[in-house]
């Protein structure tokens, strides 16, 4: 009897000391991803057009394609991704504790999240320029934000949305009552059931939610934009090699659109570059000359792998948010700078 | 000799326990420092910057995070206290009905207990909020004339206005916990010897009066411990408030954590606040228990 007691005590102590061993810090997460041969990517999983479970059980959307592009660049295979569906409050802790390698989950890029004294993340370039909006019923005759004075407004918790709503109303000296739910589905239900006059979220999410309404033509997204919401992937702040690699994967997607390189013509463009030594910028971009990939800790042809996997930024956008997709959102500022948008890549030199 | 051995074992167990706790704390500290997440509570005194749907004391978004969290705690307390009262009324009534000689009352109350206990609480809360309350019309129902008005904007009782979130949460929690309390009460009543029933009947007392004056007082010592644990369950379950849009402590913490990025501190505060709340409930129930015991001895 006593023997058993002592043995189980020893077992308990061993178990606890096992937990206590501090994992040794690897120099860069990029090496760990390569060693593991798999990328752990944090997504939302609940926003049509960005990351959503398709009928075949796989994740689809713009955020998901960013994960795929990263995996194609780091590992040469876009299918080597394990997706982790995260709620808004979970996401930064998941990143900090190393549960995920990178976050691609409609995350607004702002100072306090980026700074070492704040959340200490390192943001990649913006992949979607969004802004917070308000949706109301057409029959409500609400046309400007002043009409919403002392109204009930449905809002999701755990995001910058609440703060922006507050700032926008305070600035205009309007009052309101927030009805706060934990996730967007409940916000939508509260709004449709008439608890609130208006619901607020990023305009892309409002469009995504509205696409599922049975009477979507009866709801209108107001013209007023309450905030800038530049959505960007993020990695942990103290890992320059990983964040450099991520940054240039996004730039590769944007630059490929500038070069007019698509998933369909990548092989012929590559052949063309090989055959024409005078096309030096294209040759550098595709890794035929120079060793840009090596400087990032990636293979020199990482851009080719990315475009083969997902196509350029414009193709990703059209696939998930274009006019023929199920969540059509006008491209607006997300056009390439060549077409009047703000998407621009620094040179691949 | 035997005593010495027992003492040694006790000492070993205590030592092992202390070592385990030490290792856990050390582990937490080392890893928090390593990931640059060491505890800091300065943010509690910064302006919260978000509004609350309802608050018991004056609150504006420029107030401190600490004040916002306190408002959340008060909102939780309000739900818990109202829930406790309503759940006790429902539970004792249903429990007494299950021991009744009237077969219709017995059937209704056992049907209620069976139905409510099979369905998860979260689903019941969503039902009460989205289906029962929000589907009501804008024109209020007035079951008792002007005394009570129920609409999709909440319940209005003699000038007292309760939000629809609060109402749905209290109703859902009370009905759910009431079913468990009914079982506790039934068990207590069953523990009273059958002879006591026969005794009051032979004295010519009515069923209800006999139950109230003879059976229930004797059942109380068996009921109170079970009741305490149901009360604690209700308090803990109140954190599901966020599902129906009520600004309880958990909902406020949720916003605070995302805005400040201070998840570990936020959850520590949550843990401590709920510990405090539940210790209060336990202490109060212990007081009741002691009173009942003394009362029984003196009679």
Instruction: Give the model confidence (pLDDT) of A66-121 as tens digits.
Output: 999 999 999 999 999 999 999 887 888 899 889 999 999 989 899 989 998 888 89
DSSP letters for B135-189: TS-SSPB-TTTTSEEEETTEEEETTEEE-HHHHHHHHHHHHHHHHHHHHHHHHHH
Cβ contacts (< 8 Å) between A1 and chain B: which residues?
none
Contact A91, A105 (CB under 8 A): yes
* A16:B30 CB<8 A: no
Strands (E), chain B: 148-151, 154-157, 160-162
The alpha carbon torsion through A59, A64, A70, A72 (nearest 10 deg) reads: 50
Lowest mean pLDDT among A14-18, A33-37, A193-197: A14-18
Cβ-based contacts of A25 with chain B (< 8 Å): 34
d(CA A293, CA A245): 9
Q: What is the pLDDT of residue B178?
A: 96
For the question of whether the overall pTM of this predicted structure is more than 0.80, the answer is: no
Which single residue is written with the structure tokens 């971009």? Answer: A285
Task: State what percent of residues in chain A have pLDDT above 70.
Answer: 92
> Would you say A198 and A136 are in contact if contact means Cβ atoms under 8 Å apart?
yes
Among B172, B167, B177, which Cα is nearest to B78's?
B167
B contact test, residue of A12, A44, A165, A181 with most B CBs within 10 A: A181
Nearest-angstrom CA–CA distance, A234 and A247: 9
User: pLDDT tens across B213-245, in order?
Assistant: 888 888 998 999 999 999 999 999 999 998 899
Edge-to-edge order in the sheet of strand A234-236: A81-85, A39-43, A102-103, A234-236, A121-123
Residue of A nearest to B129 (CA): A190
Picking from B255, B256, B257 by the largest number of A CB atoms within 10 A of its own CB, the best residue to mutate is: B255
Q: What is the ipTM of this complex?
A: 0.75
Residue A296 vs residues A73, A147, A333, B216, B226: alpha-carbon distances, Å: 10, 52, 29, 77, 64
Question: Using an 8 Å Cβ cutoff, are A126 and A137 in contact?
Answer: no
Give the gap in angstroms from C-alpha B6 to the nearest C-alpha of chain A.
10
Q: Mind listing the pLDDT tens digit for each residue in A190-240?
A: 999 888 999 999 888 898 888 888 888 899 999 888 988 899 999 999 899
Instruction: Over range A304-325, report the average pLDDT.
Output: 94
- What is the distance between the alpha carbons of residues B191 and A283, in angstroms, rounded to a whole number? 88
Half-sphere exposure of B262 (CA within 13 A, CB side): 18
* Mean of the per-residue pLDDT values of chain B: 89
Eight-state DSSP code of residue A28: -
List CB contacts (< 8 A) between B244 and chain A. 181
Q: Which residues of B touch A171 (CB under 8 A)?
A: none
pLDDT at B196 over 70: yes
> Does the distance separating the beta carbons of B152 and A194 come in below 8 Å?
yes
List of chain A residues whose C-beta atoms are within 8 Å of the C-beta of residue B35: 96-97
Per the CB < 8 Å rule, is B13 touching A9?
yes
CA atoms within 13 A on the CB side of B200: 17
Give the chain B residue nearest A91 (alpha carbons): B258
CB B181 within 8 A of CB B88: yes
Asked if A182 reaches chain B (Cβ–Cβ under 8 Å), the answer is: yes
Q: Which of B248, B227, B235 is nearest to B280 (CA)?
A: B235
In this prediction, residue A1 has a pLDDT band, given cuts at 50, 70 and 90, of very low
Closest-approach residue (CA) in chain B for A178: B53
* Angle, in degrees to the nearest 10, between helices B65-98 and B263-298: 40
Query: What is the structure's pLDDT at A21?
Result: 42
Nearest CA to B129 out of B166, B79, B87, B100 is that of B166
Query: Partners of A131 in the beta sheet?
Result: A228
Distance from CA of B207 to the nearest CA of A (A): 46
B207-B209-B213-B219 Cα dihedral, nearest 10 degrees: 40
């Amino acid at each position: 009897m006593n023997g058993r007691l002592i043995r189980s005590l020893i077992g308990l102590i061993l178990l606890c000391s096992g937990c206590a061993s501090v994992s040794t810090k690897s120099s860069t997460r990029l090496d760990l991803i390569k060693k593991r041969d798999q990328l752990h990517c944090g997504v939302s999983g609940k926003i049509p057009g960005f990351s959503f479970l398709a009928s075949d059980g796989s994740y689809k959307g713009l955020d998901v394609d960013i994960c795929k592009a990263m995996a194609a660049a780091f590992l040469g295979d876009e299918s080597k991704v394990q997706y982790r569906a995260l709620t808004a409050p979970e996401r930064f802790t998941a990143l900090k504790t190393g549960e995920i390698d990178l976050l691609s989950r409609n995350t607004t890029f702002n100072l306090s999240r980026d700074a070492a004294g704040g959340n200490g993340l390192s943001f990649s370039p913006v992949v979607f320029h969004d802004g917070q909006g308000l949706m109301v019923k057409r029959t409500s005759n609400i046309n400007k934000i002043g009409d919403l004075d002392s109204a009930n407004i449905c809002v999701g918790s755990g995001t910058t949305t609440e703060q922006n709503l507050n700032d926008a109303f305070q600035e205009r000296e309007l009052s309101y009552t927030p009805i706060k739910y934990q996730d967007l589905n409940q916000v939508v239900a509260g709004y449709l059931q008439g608890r609130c006059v208006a619901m607020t979220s990023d305009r892309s999410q409002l469009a995504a939610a509205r696409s599922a309404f049975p009477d979507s033509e009866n709801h209108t997204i107001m013209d007023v934009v309450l905030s800038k919401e530049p959505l960007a992937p993020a990695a942990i702040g103290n890992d320059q090699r990983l964040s450099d690699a991520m940054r240039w994967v996004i730039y590769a997607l944007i630059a490929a659109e500038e070069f007019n390189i698509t998933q369909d013509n990548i092989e012929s463009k590559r052949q063309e570059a090989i055959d024409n030594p005078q096309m030096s910028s294209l040759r550098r971009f595709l890794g035929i000359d120079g060793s840009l990939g090596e400087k990032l800790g990636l293979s020199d042809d990482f851009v080719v792998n990315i475009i083969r996997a997902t196509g350029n930024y414009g193709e990703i956008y059209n696939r998930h948010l274009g006019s023929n997709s199920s969540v059509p959102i006008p491209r607006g500022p997300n056009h390439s700078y060549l077409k009047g948008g703000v998407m621009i890549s620094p040179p691949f030199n | 000799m035997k005593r010495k051995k027992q003492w040694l074992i006790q000492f070993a167990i205590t030592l092992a326990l202390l070592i385990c706790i030490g290792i856990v704390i050390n582990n937490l500290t080392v890893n928090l420092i390593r990931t640059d997440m060491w505890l800091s509570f300065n943010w509690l005194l910064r302006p919260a910057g978000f509004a609350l749907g309802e608050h018991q004391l004056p609150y504006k978004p420029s107030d401190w995070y600490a004040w916002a969290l306190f408002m959340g705690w008060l909102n939780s307390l309000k739900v818990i206290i109202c829930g406790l009262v309503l759940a006790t009324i429902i539970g004792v009534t249903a429990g007494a009905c299950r021991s009744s000689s009237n077969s219709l009352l017995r059937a209704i109350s056992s049907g209620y207990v069976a139905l409510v206990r099979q369905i998860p609480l979260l689903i019941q809360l969503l039902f009460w909020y989205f289906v029962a309350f929000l589907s009501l019309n804008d024109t209020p129902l007035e079951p008792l004339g002007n005394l009570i008005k129920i609409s999709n904007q909440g319940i209005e009782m003699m000038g007292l206005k309760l939000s629809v979130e609060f109402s749905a949460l209290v109703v859902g929690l009370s009905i759910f916990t009431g079913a468990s309390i009914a079982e506790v009460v039934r068990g207590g009543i069953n523990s009273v010897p059958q002879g006591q029933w026969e005794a009051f009947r032979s004295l010519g007392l009515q069923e209800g009066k006999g139950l109230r004056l003879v059976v229930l007082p004797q059942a109380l010592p068996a009921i109170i411990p079970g009741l305490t644990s149901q009360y604690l369950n209700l308090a803990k379950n109140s954190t599901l408030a966020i599902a129906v849009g009520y600004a309880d402590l958990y909902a406020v913490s949720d916003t605070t954590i995302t805005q400040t990025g201070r998840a570990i501190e936020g959850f520590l505060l949550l843990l401590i606040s709920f510990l405090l709340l539940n210790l209060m409930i336990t202490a109060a129930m212990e007081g009741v228990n002691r009173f009942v015991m003394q009362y029984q001895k003196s009679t």
